[in-house]
Structure 1
């Protein structure tokens, strides 16, 4: 079975990648945007995630894995709200910044560039591979 790739965003002061590492797993909840919820409903166990820190950092920090696919948020009466469970896989060797991604024409159609306020988005295999490649390179400003 082919797994899918996603990017999830979080304010590090609220829940950082290090918090996920310390907790070993978490329920990804609190998403209200309709397009993000539409994406969440497609998330399956085994899918891979890029963990993005918003705020001052604005960079992809680490990789996580979906350990339970999308399900209705048990803390909400409205069943339109969906959540999923994740665990950390590894912190990237080097964070990949939004500035770096925006400056690379390869990423022009990436939702991270096109729809900057979206908190959950699909990532193509090509974008995933390029981001992993970039995380292993020294970045010259």
Structure 2
């Protein structure tokens, strides 16, 4: 008999800067207690960067009309976080110089995540998916 997977955690937040804090809290609180010390800080940072980018670059209408979607799920020894927005842009890794004031969000994601990718959504929008590896206690 196959093991039944956990149902992914799923949230929708307004595309507003105040949602970044709410998203961080929701994601970390959904982790099993035993994994919070190992994954909590990195997952908080990934959530902050990806949600901030989705709000800044993916929202097309006023913040109170637009939603950012998050999904968190464990699979294959990783916790995967997908942050989706309605925008059509494709986020890309940049290498800003020392004087640049921005452009480091995906550099941070690239250094923290075991793997990450940008995927178009089936209907409209874009998702950035990042995974953090974990070891199950046996």
TM bucket (normalised to shorter chain) is: under 0.3
What TM-score does the superposition give when structure 1 sets the normalisation length?
A: 0.27
Greater fraction strand: 1
Greater fraction helix: 2
Larger Rg computed on CA atoms: 2
What TM-score does the superposition give when structure 2 sets the normalisation length?
A: 0.28
